[in-house]
Every structure is written in C-alpha cells, then in structure tokens.
A and B are shown apart, each in its own frame.
Chain A
Amino acid sequence: MQRDVTPFAGRTPAEELVRVFTDDRERLRRVVMVRLDAGLRGRVDVDDVLQEAFLAASTRLKHFRPERCAVMFVWVRMVVMQTIVDLARRHLGARKRGGGREVALTEVVDDQGSSFRLLQEMCARVTSPTRAAARAEDSTRLIASIAGMSDTDREILLLRHFEELSNGEVAEVLGLQKAAATNRYLRAMTRLHDVLGNPDGPRHG
C-alpha cells in the first residue's frame, strides 16, 4: 500500500508503461517478430500487435507488482507474448478459408514449443514466395544445432540474441539470479560451439 516509493525514478506505473512502449519499442517489435507465427506475419502488422498489447497492458496494469518484477519491460514482454498467443488463437479459428500453412493449434498455443517453432520457420521462410526473388542464405547446420539444444539453452540463446535482451532481463524472464543467468548463457554458447566444432554434425538430444 505504500505508493510513495515508486521504483520507476519517480514515474507512476502508467507513465512507466508509456515510456517502455516508446523507448523500448524496437525491442518489443523484435519480440513480436521472433514469436509471431509465420502464418500470421503476413496478416497482422507488428505495430498492430504492439498496439493491442499496449491496451491489454493498460487494463492489466493494476495487476502489475513492482516487487515481483523490477523491470517493467519484462512484464510488458510477457503481456506481448500473451497477446501473440491470443492473436494466433483467434486467427486460427477463422482460418478455414485457407491461405496459410497448416499449423496445428497446439503448435501455436504451446508456449514450450515456441522457440523450436521459430527454428522451423527459419527454414520454411526461405521458401516463402514473397522472398522468392531475394536470396536467403542458409546456415542449415547452425539451425540444426540450435534445434538440437536443450530447451533452456535454446531459450536463453533466443532471448539474448534474437530478442536482444540483456543478461539482467533474461534473468528476470527466466526467474534466475543474474550470476546463474550468466553462467547458463556462457555454458549454452560453449556447448553450441562444441557442437559446431564437431565435424560429424550436430548432436541431437
């Protein structure tokens, strides 16, 4: 109930929310690009997703607990992810008209699989017609290696390099201590290096 001590340099949560959506807009866009289903990417605009996420975040702001989540960006990111899942569900429901690749509902909604799906899409995208005229280079082996990583390693890698989150933010997203996040990140990178260095190709599992 102590509202006088605000953790956002004197800003209210509402002001902080606006700041995140302004200053961190690029990073939030990246979250959408990484996590949005390939079939939806042609239909919904990234900025529309963010706008919807902003509305959702504003209405849910009362549920935001500064003591639980020190960095508001991490909370907003979660809302964005939720918006994406909702969108996928809504669009898939109305997808009987066809036009997209067949993606099972579970595939979209299942959060666990999201990072893995992203990798699959990397391959699928290369053959998508809008890109036919342009060349997409394919470091297939690297993709396969990432696909073969453990879920945690892969998620850390995606957060750090695809969503471009900082170590502190990764720690918050995954609920880890900063040191543990550092440790895990470096371990994941070393492992990936080992797999790539192995001439027999990636080891799965």
Chain B
Amino acid sequence: MFSATPTGPAMAEPGQDDAAEDRIEHLADEFAARLRNGARVTVDEVVAAHPDLPSRLREVLQTVLAVESLKVRHLAMHPEPRLPSDRRLGDFRIVREVGRGGMAIVYEAVQESLARVVALKVLPQTAFLDDEQVVRFQNEARIVSRLWHPHIVPVHTVGVDAGVHFFAMPLIAGVGLDRVVRAMQESRCRDGAPLDPTVAAVLAHLDRGEPAQPSFWLRLAKIGADFADAIEHAHCHGVIHRDVKPSNLLLEADGKAWVSDFGIAKCLDQERATRTGQMLGTLHYVPPEQFDGIYDARGDVYGLGLSLLELGGGATTWPGGSIPALVEHIRRGVPHTLRQICRGAPRDLSLVLQKATACNPSERYVSAAEFAADLRRFAAGRPILARSASVAARLLFWCRRNRLAAVCAAASVLAIGAASLAGWGAFWVTDRALGAQHAANARARTSLDAARRATHRAEANLELALESYDEVFRQITGGVGFAATKDDASTLPLVSNREHELLQAVLSFYESFASTNADHPRLRRAAAGAFARAGDIRRWNGDPDGARAAYVRAVEFHERVESWARDDAWVLAMASMRAGQALVSDDAFAALADLESVRLLLERRVSADAASELAAELVRLCNTIGVVSLRSSPLASGQVHPYLDWCQRTAVLAHERAVAVAQCLVAADPSALDSVLLLARSLRLLAHARLCGPSPAAASLDNVADSLDLLEAMSRAWPGTLRCRVEWIDACSLAARHGVHGFGCGRLTQSLAEARDLVVLRPGLPEFEELLARVLRRSGEVAASSGQAAAALASFDECGGVLAALWQRFPRAEHHLQELLQVRFAQANVLRDNGDPAQAMLLLEQVLDLAEATRSPTVALGARAIDRELLSLCVELGDDEAAERVRHRAIDRNRGRFGSFRPR
C-alpha cells in the first residue's frame, strides 16, 4: 500500500514547519476518528483536499490507515457489528454467539428459509476500508463457495445486510487441532481444567496413549492425508489457503477432518499482499520463505506438516519470546523431528513430516497430493518417498537442530548460489562423505576433484564455502554447552558420534581445500587455517599421527606468509596451531620448545597494550604449556623423578606467567567477565600445578584462595553466571581437598551438591559430568586421607562410574580414560590399605583391560604405573604366578613402545 508513493522530503521548509506539522497532526487525528466511526474515507480524498501540505501528509495517513486496520483486526476492539434490533441478517436469525476472533464474530444462526442451523461469521464495518476490498471479498467467497470436497468446510452464502457483511457456513461439531494439542499438553500436567466434551470426545477417538500407541500414528497419518486431500483439491481449483494452522484444521468426534476458512484470509489482505509483498497468516505457522514475500502451494504443505507434527508430539513447536525472536526461530527451521519429540514415533512418519516442514520449500513435497500419498504409504506400511531425503538436507537439519543461526545463514547463501559450481561442489563433498562414509572413499575423492576444479573457477564462492564450513566447525567444537568461550587448547570439545560423522565431511573439505590452495598466494593463509582445523579434527578423532602431519603442514604454510603480512591475527593463528600440535606431540620437549617460541612472539606484541585479544591468547597459551607439561606426568603426585620434577616446575612457571598477564587484563577492565574467569582459571591451574610437586608450597593454597575470592566476587557481580559457578565448584573442591583455611568438608559437600545439581540441570552435558567426576575424586581423596575408607571407596566408585560412562560416550576423548586410570589407582590404594588387596588387584586388572584398548602414550604411561602397583600387590599377596602374568602382559604391551622397558 506504500510502494506506489514516492517519498517526499521528510521535512517541509523550516519556516512553515510547525504550522504544517500541526495541520498534519490534526488531519491525521480527524482521519483516524472517521475510520473509527466506520465512515468511508480515503487517503487520496484527504490529500487532494490539502494540496498545499507536503507529501508527508500522505505517508502519515497511509500509516494511520495501516495501524488502525491492524488494531481492528488484532484487538477485537472494533465496534460490535451493529446488528439490527431483531437480530436478523437477511435470511438468518441469530441464536447465540459461539466465538469471537480478532476479525469477526461467529454466531450460531438459523437460516429460516431452509430451517437449517449455520455458523454465521459477521465482519465488523471497519473490516473493509474501501469498496474495492468488499468486491474482492465477495469474489473470493464466490470462488471458495465452489469448492466442494468432503473435507472442506463449505461456504453457503455471502451477504450484506444493513451494512453488515457476513458469510454462512455449516456449523461443524468439531474442534481445532490447537485445542486438541493444548488439551494433550494440559493432561500431561495432570491438573488441567475439565475438558470441553467435544475436545474430550476427539481425544478419546485419537486415543494417543502414553507412550503413544502404534494405532495412534496410523490414525494421525490418515487424518493428515484427509487434510492434505482437501488442500490439494483447493489447489487444483486455484485457491491457496495461505493460513493452514491447527485452529483451521477441525476434527469431529468421530475423527472426520475439516479444513476451514479457505481463501477468506487471502482475499482480505490480498490486495496489500500483491502490491507490497506484505505477509499474511498466523506467525507461528508461517513458512520461512514467507518472510521474503514468497508463498505458494508448498506453504500450505508446510503449515499442514507443522500442525500434524504438533498433534503427533502433543506440543507446540516454537518457544515463547519476542516477535523478532520468533521470526528468527522460524527462519532457522523446525527445531526437531517427530522422533525427537516422541521417541516411540515411527521413523517413516517422522521423515514424512520432516520433509513436509523442510525449511527450504524445494525440499518439501511439491504438492499436497504427494504429501497425502506418502502419508498413505506410511499408513499402509509401504516404503515412503521421503526416506531418500538427501544427506545435504540432513546436514542442514543437523545445523538447525543445533540452532546455528550463522551456519544456516551461510548454508542458505550457499544454496542460493546454487548456480555456481563451487558452492555445489562443496556441498557435494559433504554429501558424499556423510552418505558413503568409509566404503565410498574412491567416489568421495572424485567429488573432491570436482570441488577442486570448481575451486579454480569460482574462488570467491569457495571462500564463502570455507566460511560456512568454519562456522559448522566452530559450532561443533565450541558450541558444546557453556564452554562456548574459547578456553585453552587443553580442553577438548567432546563430540558425539553423529557430530563426528559430520566432522569427517568437514575434514575432507578442509583437506581438499588446503592441498589445492596452499600455493595460491591469496588463499595461503586460509589453507594453513584449513590444515590446522584438519589437525584439530584428527586430534579429536584419536588420530595423533594424522593430526601431527596436518599441523606440521599448517605451520609450514603459515610460516610462508611474508613477514610484512604477519599481523596480530597471524600470531593468534600460529599460537593456536602450535598449541594443537603440542597436544598431539610425542616429544614433549620439542612441543614445549615450539610453544615457547610462539609465546615469545606473543609476549613481544602484548607488552604494549595489555588488554587485547593477544594478551588473552597469551594467557591461554601459557595455560596450555602448563597443562602439556603436567600431562606428561600421569600419576605425578607423590612420585619423585627428575623428569616429573622438571615438568612440574615448567608448568608452575607457565601458569605463573598466565596469572600475571591475566591480572593485567583484569586490572585494565575489571568488569570483563571473560578476563576475570581467565584469571580465576589460571590461578586454579597454578595451584593445581604447585600441589602436584613433591613439596607443595603454602603459596599454592593462597592461589586457590585468591581464585575463590575472585570467583565469589564475580558471583556477586554476575549472579547466575553458569561459567562462574562451574569454576567456583572446581576451585572450591580443590581448596577443600588441600585444606585451604575455611574450606573444610562442609564446602566440599556443598560443591559436590552443586555439581550434582548442575548435572541434573543439564543432563548429558559432558563438561558438568567431568566436573562432577573431579569433585567426587577430590572428596574421595579427602575421605581417604582422613581414614574414612568406606566414604572414600563410595566416592571413587561413583567417580569411576561417571568417567567410564563418559569414556564410553566419547571414545575419542582419552583424558577420561586417563582419569579413570588415576581414580582406580587411588581406589585400589584404599582397598589395599584396608586389607583387601585381592579386590584391588581385580579392579586394576579391569582398568588395564580398558587402557590396553587405546594407543595413547599418556594412557600407556598410566598403565605402566598400574603395572607397578599390580606387581607390588602380587608380591604382597605372595602370588608369584600372578606376578609373572602381570610382568609378561606389561612387557608385551610395551614392546616396541618403550623398547627395553622392564618393570621392576
């Protein structure tokens, strides 16, 4: 309604400003008042009557018109239709009001000439703001009244009497799916209000059951197919519903389906819609493409699919929130499949609904007929067509499920750039790698070649592809729960098998990208980055050799960047590459030397301005140095060994530096949560490193105390910050473990309870389970050192259980196993001290079985310590045979790895 107007100057000449403004305001007020009174007045009339006023008048009046009609439609504030005193409209006698919408009032009425009961929808006078709209409405109603289908609520009559517009429909004894879904939701809460008898009857007919019965899914499919048939029928007659939503899909008590309100919505707003591309329809069921002004038959398929999904799951789809947020959610796509809402739902039905509600219309059923056919195929137990949903679609779906707005944005840009080969080449690679997995390596390579060739053709698109892959990568690796902030490289992201599968696809893309573009001067840095990511992925996959090779190449290409182009970003990238490399290195000395060299680079740049991303990176790097050097001493505490001693001292020095830099960061901006957390974490790591030494200094306890002070101040400044709470639990339990003043058993119990709360709060989030395991281990250690064997064993046992479960879930994150080894070791010690060496042996042998399944050098070191412990247990038990067995087992395992190693 606005596009036709050329926008005039926003302000009139300065001298006339106030007077003109007053007049415009006055005219706008008058115009609004006349609209409210139902008078027929147009913008053109008013503008024509005041030719001397600036064009702003038209803009304001148009906006007044839009806002006034919006109010009429949405707030039900329009004056009640002035019904004649005898409550008759033409042939109809009104009996009672049955419903009221933002737009119209529905009455039960009797059509006297035919003596039939009808539903009479009466529109307010202000519903039509001009005559043209009245004509459109009547035309549309006429077309709709020609739709004749067993599942479409027909329109009997359209009429106008005494200035009141209305139309008559049969009175359906049914309820909208929205009420059914709501009743399902409420019944789950167990204290819902008594049900409306019709709703209750419909629910009884559907007989969902808890959990849902197989017969329910068949009924759902059948009803869905009926709805789809009705919609298809209308489509064939050129009528698009445009507002398919649960409240327009009615069910009678016997399960008969009705689609109501055909085309009426459309006609009232169509004029506007076609002229300005404005949107129609209820926001919750609006297909994503409608926000771009696109709507066709597939939009109706989406609305029906989403409504059926809600009926099946018994819950509404979108979370509450502001309108912009809702629009964002919708654009990202339906967040879950039927099976994710409802575990027992049939896979095929879930796939059918997933296809119907696909974010991209081209991935949906082309027509309602196809949708109906697939639903019927499912109901008949025949194979469905949606099963062959492409892997690319699954990738997209995965992205959506993880709420990756950015990924989807990038991915849809990719999809839009479909014409460009490069985009599709890259997609194809993903597709292949996901679908064919290992078996189709050869074919995947061909597709990589295709992508490579495409690369040369369209470099820009490739960069786009790289960006979107980077986003996928970041989201998988950094998006795990609260750990989204960048931590030091020692914290591994924990990836599930499904994400692992996806990472493989990303990996093949990176590798092909890197090897193709490494010589391209402009893309060299990007290629180095891609190698580094490939290294990261290989590292998490438990492929240290592959990772090492990738990192070496990453560093190699990164170093080829000319020295003048080595900016801060270059140094940051180098730091993260070296950190990754160090973590897979089998030569701790070499790794630490590399890390030290990067650290020098960073140090040189940091000195000038302490508060920068570089400084933060320096802190992280120092922490990585500390963690790496400490990691190479697997069962450090209590053992004295020159190498271990050196490791521990290096770690302490590194963490001390981290603390110093972090303190500068905090001093520069005490309100930056990230800096404060970084400092708290560095303090805790420093304390931990110091405590690992042979003679823990009292200063280390001060570090923990400092860390705790910080954290407590932070909790006050940012109450409810999860990261803060997590760090606090960690530091608090560490303090309690080492007897920091004021942190006794009470605090330990408190942190244990909090850790448990966290696990309950976010079940399945590995970081919290790791934390719980750490706290449990510390409680066990405290109990053991105070002679409470039973309590210690219980804590260790639970801790071992948590770690074992974690290791099973994330077989690639070996530090769980390493910790499990340590915990079992401690547990065995308690058992031994309490006179149960046989049980201790059993425990150690079990954990050794686990350790032998991996090839990690640090785990092997842990296993070695366990060998030693086992041997001494054998000696204690006087069981020479067992001792011999243990010795042989150790020699077998370590042959080749440690050469002449021979346990004493």
Residues of A near any B CB (own CB < 8 A): 30, 33-34, 97-99, 101-102, 116, 119-120, 122-123, 125-127, 129-144, 146-148, 157, 160-162, 164, 166-167, 179, 182-183, 185-186, 189-190, 192-194, 196-197, 199, 201, 204
Contact = CB atoms under 8 A, between A and B. Distances in A.
Interface in B68-107: 68-71, 73-77, 98-106
Given A134-B106, A196-B276, A142 B67 contact: yes
7 contacts: A137-B268, A140-B279, A142-B67, A182-B25, A189-B59, A190-B60, A193-B60
Nearest to B261: A135
Interface in B188-222: 189, 191-193
Contacts of B398: none
B823 interface: no
Contacts of A129: 176, 178-179, 182, 247
B75 A138 contact: no
B105 A134 contact: yes
Contacts of B69: 139
A185 B63 CA distance: 11
A188 to B, nearest CB: 9
B56 A132 contact: no
A161 B21 contact: no
Given A98-B189, A136-B101, A137-B269, A186 B284 contact: no
B273 to A, nearest CB: 9
B3 A197 contact: yes
A189 B281 contact: no
B326 interface: yes
Contact of B67 (A101, A126, A157): A157
Interface stretch (B28-36, B511-519, B617-625, B845-853): B28-36
Contacts of A116: 322
Contacts of B99: 130-134
Contacts of B807: none
Contact of A186 (B2, B25, B70, B98): B25
Nearest to B59: A193
B187 to A, nearest CB: 11
A204 B324 contact: yes
Contacts of B22: 179, 182
B62 interface: yes
A109 to B, nearest CB: 17
Given A98-B191, A190-B60, A196-B276, A134 B103 contact: yes
Contacts of A160: 32
Interface in B1-44: 2-3, 5, 7, 10, 18, 21-22, 24-25, 28-29, 32, 36
B101 A133 contact: yes
A147 B324 contact: yes
Contacts of B392: none
Contacts of B102: 122, 125-126, 131, 134, 136-137
Interface in B252-291: 260-261, 264-265, 268-269, 272, 276-284, 286, 291
A135 B71 contact: no
B152 interface: no
B71 A186 contact: no
Contacts of B176: 129, 132-133
Contacts of B73: 136-139
A114 B29 CA distance: 24
Interface in B274-312: 276-284, 286, 291-293
Nearest to B102: A136
Contacts of B272: 139
B10 A190 contact: yes
B25 to A, nearest CB: 5
B121 interface: yes
Contact of A194 (B7, B103, B245): B7
4 tightest CB-CB pairs across the interface, nearest first? Answer: A134-B101, A136-B102, A132-B247, A132-B176
A148 B328 CA distance: 13
Nearest to B268: A137
A129 B246 CA distance: 10
B286 A140 contact: yes
A186 B10 CA distance: 10
B66 interface: yes
B369 interface: no
Nearest to A29: B77
B320 interface: yes
A193 B59 CA distance: 6
B323 interface: yes
Contacts of B25: 167, 182, 185-186
B21 A182 contact: yes
A127 B10 CA distance: 39
Contacts of B277: 199
B806 interface: no
A135 B74 CA distance: 10
Contacts of A167: 25, 29
B571 interface: no
B291 A201 contact: yes
A137 B72 CA distance: 10
A84 B5 CA distance: 41
